[in-house]
Amino acid sequence: MAGVRTLEEILKKDPERFSMTVFGEEPHPNYNRIMLSSVLQGDSTVDDIVLNSYEWYAEHNITLHTGDPIIKVDTKKQVVYSQSGLACNYDKLIFATGSNPFMLPLPGADKEGVIAFRNIKDCETMIETSKNYQKAVVIGGGLLGLEAARGLLNLNMHVDVIHISDFLMERQLDEPAGKMLQEELEAQGMTFHLKKNTEKILGEKRVEEVRFTDGTSIDTDLVVMAVGIKPNIELGKKSGLKTDRAIVVNDYMETSVKNVYAVGECAEHRGIAYGLVAPLYEQGKVLAAHICSTEKTSEPGYQGSIVYTQLKVSGVDVFSAGMFQDNEKTKAIRVHDEFEGLYKKVVVQDNKVVGAVLFGDTGDSPRLLNMMRSGEDISEMSKVAILPSESGSESKVSPVVAMADGETICGCNGVSKGEICSAISDQGLTTVDQVKLCTNAGRSCGGCKPLVADLLTLTTGEEVGNAKEAMCGCTEYTHEEVVAEIRELGLSHPREVMNVLGWESDEGCSKCRPAINYYLQMVDPIKNADDPSSRFVNERVHANINHNGTFSVVPRMYGGVTNAEQLRKIADVADKYSIPLLKVTGGQRIDMFGVEKEDLPKVWDDLGMRSGSAYAKALRTVKTCVGEQFCRFGTQDSIGLGIELEKKYEYINTPHKVKMAVSACPRNCAESGIKDFGIVGVEGAWELYVGGNGGVDLRGGDLFCKVKTKEEIIDTISAFLQYYREHARYLERTSH
């Protein structure tokens, strides 16, 4: 997150200055690690938490190598070497290697079912485990452990949380707040085992039991270790950088080696390695300014950060910042209401707020954080002024009302109240998503979104809850309103739509441009020509981009049927262009992985086959079973119907991908029940199922109708498909 945020800041300051290349270990573009808990808790999908898509990298001419970490750095020659064997010269090198989870070195920790909670793969492992097992143990009652535990509860697992301390989150909370948090989470279904020290993990190949030093034990099917992180500095050490707990940097994020920098969790500044997002983004901003500067600057550089934490467990509001524990030099203001489940503590030293803990109501957190940052003298302030929400007033006035324009609303991204209010007024913003796109407020942990909503209400005078859902942050028009304007005004090009309808951005964004391009062709496919520049990169090059920058090519095989001539062509092309992987897909086609971008036109030309649209928002495949031609159970000609359907609907643009299947009998070998359009042959008739989905959100199709002839089934599908094209929003599946 810190590394790519640095690149974003560089692009703001001097977009033409550098040719940029990113190497990453994970097989994904950069994503919001803070929101992993939301994925686990079912509030977000993996796609939702991606911060910068593959298309973003392509649009900004940034070369991205995912799943290919750097394994060697030659700082003298200024060359890096990747795991796959790539060598890349550099003028400036930024280490943003983050942290690794700390795994307790327990006997049995290497067994199947013992994982960390650090990345998308860990989330996927937990989700898959929950489908076959019921019991989970989380070792660690800190912030990360509790987020993992809440997610596992949402996956319908029984969760035991093991913690070595006598109350939860002792690094962020004092004992009263920790005990209140425990009561709240116990009410949600978690079981806690405090003051427990894990001795070993038992089981055959897979974990079956966790045993403690006091002789007690718990049966389990999954162990999630969430006991901390350690900066990932091994490459830095091997490269000759000065390291201590992390890679040592100065106020400008410079390491001990010329032209080499470090940001994020792998960097140590003035003896501190930060593990939270706000400091990391501050570091990225400082580094970008320094790298883009053409002369020596008098700017002070990075001065360190006040650390704060907000717990992201559904239904629980917890905030902690600064020095929250009492000592002989501090005094505290406390509010403890057991009836309402509220606890607030503000720690004061030398007439300044130096720390705070809030439980149950965190509305005062931005203002308290700003008081800590500014070092404001509070000697003349009343206790009511310090905690205004506890003044006894019955009216629920948002804390943003009393905040000054310079005070920070979004701590993660450093966005002030004044910046947000100005953006709302100047650009006519009406939704939280528009504010996020325009200012970055709410882009990281999302904890400030209620305050952003309050600012929208305060500035516009309208309740945000009543605001319509705009297509994107570039406009206040909804999808439906854009389509209506295209029809009424006869608009014919994405740029014309954006210009006539007063788009905030001349270029639009990755959300609105593909949508507008689709709506234009849906309304009038003859008059309104396709605009390739408004399509995603996959659709522009007629292939799917892979994590290493190569592409995969899928020729069309109607109804999953091929022949010797096609197979020979595929084999010849694979040999000619050294294509490393050929794989049979679930849609009964052959996928050719690892094609270089410059080879794509030649590959398609040599194949001489039509594209299978594996990249497109269109009909992908029509999967078929053998049918009555060869199967003794087949009641209908599934292959013939499948081929006819695929030839009829191929290349018709749709709001999202469309998959079909034809099964010749109720045994359903073509998996018709989980397709957008699934046809099942029965004795003397066809059944049509619609709205199925075999992906992340598994959904069985609904029986739509039963007809006798092939012609009737085609007419019905055509009508439903056109209804879907005209009424669905762009990127909405039939299963929605």
CB atoms within 10 A of CB 39: 22
Residue 640's pLDDT is what?
Answer: 96
Report the candidate in 259, 281, 297 with the shortest Cα–Cα distance to residue 18: 259
Per the rule left: phi > 0, alpha: psi between -120 and 50, beta: everything else, 542 is: left
Report the candidate in 443, 278, 467 with the shortest Cα–Cα distance to residue 365: 278
Q: What is the DSSP letter of 112?
A: B
Report the candidate in 301, 290, 264 with the shortest Cα–Cα distance to residue 279: 264
Kind plus residue range of the DSSP H or E element containing 432: helix 432-439
How high is the mean pLDDT of the chain?
A: 90
CB 720 within 8 A of CB 704: yes
Same domain, 558 and 574: yes
CB 714 within 8 A of CB 648: yes
Report the candidate in 460, 493, 458 with the shortest Cα–Cα distance to residue 476: 460
- pLDDT reading at 406 higher than 80: no
Q: Report the DSSP pairing between strands 318-322 and 308-311.
A: antiparallel
Residue 314's pLDDT is what?
Answer: 53
Alpha carbon distance 683, 689 (integer Å): 17
- pLDDT reading at 256 higher than 60: yes
Domain holding 602: CATH number? Answer: 3.90.480.10
pLDDT band at 45 (very low <50, low <70, confident <90, very high): confident
Within a 13 Å sphere around the CA of 257, how many CA atoms are in the beta-carbon half?
23
Residue count of the chain = 736
Domain holding 357: CATH number? Answer: 3.30.390.30
Same domain, 202 and 345: no
pLDDT band at 363 (very low <50, low <70, confident <90, very high): confident
Note whether residue 734 is domain-resident. Answer: no
The residue out of 344, 368, 392 marking a domain boundary is 392
Same domain, 504 and 571: no
Report the candidate in 589, 599, 605, 587 with the shortest Cα–Cα distance to residue 550: 599
Alpha carbon distance 365, 357 (integer Å): 9
Note whether residue 438 is domain-resident. Answer: yes
Note whether residue 592 is domain-resident. Answer: yes
Q: Which residue has the higher pLDDT, 346 or 462?
A: 346
Taking only the tens place, the pLDDT of each residue in 493-532 is: 999 999 999 988 777 877 899 999 999 999 998 888 888 8
Work out the widest C-alpha separation in the chain, in whole angstroms: 90
- pLDDT reading at 404 higher than 90: no
CB 373 within 8 A of CB 409: no
Classify each residue of 627-642 as buried b or exposed e, where b means 16 or more C-beta atoms within 10 Å of its C-beta: bbeeeeebbbbbbbbb
Note whether residue 473 is domain-resident. Answer: no
Note whether residue 367 is domain-resident. Answer: yes
Could you tell me the two tokens for 552? 């995969």
CA distances from 476 to 470, 473, 504, 512, 650 (A): 5, 7, 9, 12, 34
- pLDDT reading at 666 higher than 70: yes
Note whether residue 461 is domain-resident. Answer: yes
Alpha carbon distance 417, 402 (integer Å): 11
Same domain, 506 and 601: no
CB 515 within 8 A of CB 477: no
- pLDDT reading at 394 higher than 60: no
CA 158 remoteness from chain centre: 26
Mean predicted confidence (pLDDT) in 369-386: 82
CB 553 within 8 A of CB 592: yes
Helix (H, G, I), strand (E, B) or coil at 374: helix
Residue 392's pLDDT is what?
Answer: 45
Report the candidate in 602, 332, 584, 601 with the shortest Cα–Cα distance to residue 593: 584
Residue 573's pLDDT is what?
Answer: 97
Q: Report the DSSP pairing between strands 158-163 and 191-194.
A: parallel
Same domain, 424 and 519: no
CB atoms within 10 A of CB 8: 17
Mean predicted confidence (pLDDT) in 634-651: 94
Residue 462's pLDDT is what?
Answer: 62
**Which H, E and C letters describe 279-343, residue by residue?**
HHHHHHHHHHHHHHCCCCCCCCCCCCCCCEEEECCCCCCEEEEECCCCCCCCEEEEEEECCCCEE
Radius of gyration, CA atoms only, the chain: 29
Taking only the tens place, the pLDDT of each residue in 603-640 is: 999 999 999 999 899 999 999 999 988 998 888 899 99
Query: Alpha helix (H) ranges present in 31-174?
Result: 36-40, 46-49, 54-59, 120-130, 143-154
Could you tell me the two tokens for 319? 């905030």
- pLDDT reading at 388 higher than 90: no
Taking only the tens place, the pLDDT of each residue in 236-247 is: 999 999 999 999
Alpha carbon distance 401, 3 (integer Å): 35
Helix, strand, coil abundance in the chain, percent, nearest 5: 35, 20, 45
Taking only the tens place, the pLDDT of each residue in 136-158 is: 999 999 988 998 998 898 888 99
φ, ψ (nearest 5 deg) of residue 704: -95, -45
- pLDDT reading at 38 higher than 90: no
Q: Classify burial at 25, counting beta carbons within 10 Å of its beta carbon; exposed 0-12, middle 13-18, buried 19 or more.
A: middle
Q: Which domain holds residue 165?
A: 114-227
Kind plus residue range of the DSSP H or E element containing 8: helix 2-13
Same domain, 146 and 202: yes
Mean predicted confidence (pLDDT) in 543-558: 89
Domain holding 264: CATH number? Answer: 3.50.50.60
- pLDDT reading at 735 higher than 70: yes
- pLDDT reading at 305 higher than 90: no
Residue 455's pLDDT is what?
Answer: 87
Same domain, 58 and 16: yes
Domain holding 420: CATH number? Answer: 1.10.10.1100
As for how many domains the chain has, the answer is 7
Helices (H), strands (E): how many in the chain? 22, 35
Note whether residue 403 is domain-resident. Answer: no
DSSP bridge pairs for 336:
343
The residue out of 576, 607, 638 marking a domain boundary is 607
Residue 391's pLDDT is what?
Answer: 46
Same domain, 327 and 373: yes
Q: Report the DSSP pairing between strands 551-553 and 415-416.
A: unpaired
Taking only the tens place, the pLDDT of each residue in 571-582 is: 999 999 999 999
At residue 316, what is the residue type?
Answer: V
Same domain, 596 and 691: no
Same domain, 344 and 486: no
Report the candidate in 731, 708, 610, 716 with the shortest Cα–Cα distance to residue 660: 716
Residue 546's pLDDT is what?
Answer: 82
Kind plus residue range of the DSSP H or E element containing 710: helix 710-727
Report the candidate in 77, 133, 139, 89 with the shortest Cα–Cα distance to residue 109: 139
Same domain, 694 and 630: yes
Mean predicted confidence (pLDDT) in 357-375: 86
Give Cβ neighbours of residue 341 (< 8 Å, ≥ 6 apart): 180, 184, 359, 360
Mean predicted confidence (pLDDT) in 72-81: 98
- pLDDT reading at 129 higher than 60: yes
Q: Which residue has the higher pLDDT, 294 or 204?
A: 204
pLDDT band at 308 (very low <50, low <70, confident <90, very high): confident
Residue 395's pLDDT is what?
Answer: 44
Q: What DSSP assignment string belongs to 606-674?
A: HH---B--TTSSSEEEEEE--GGGT-TT--S-HHHHHHHHHHHHTT---SS-EEEEEESSTT-TT-GGG
Helix (H, G, I), strand (E, B) or coil at 264: helix
Helix (H, G, I), strand (E, B) or coil at 402: helix
Helix (H, G, I), strand (E, B) or coil at 595: strand
Same domain, 166 and 190: yes
Note whether residue 472 is domain-resident. Answer: no
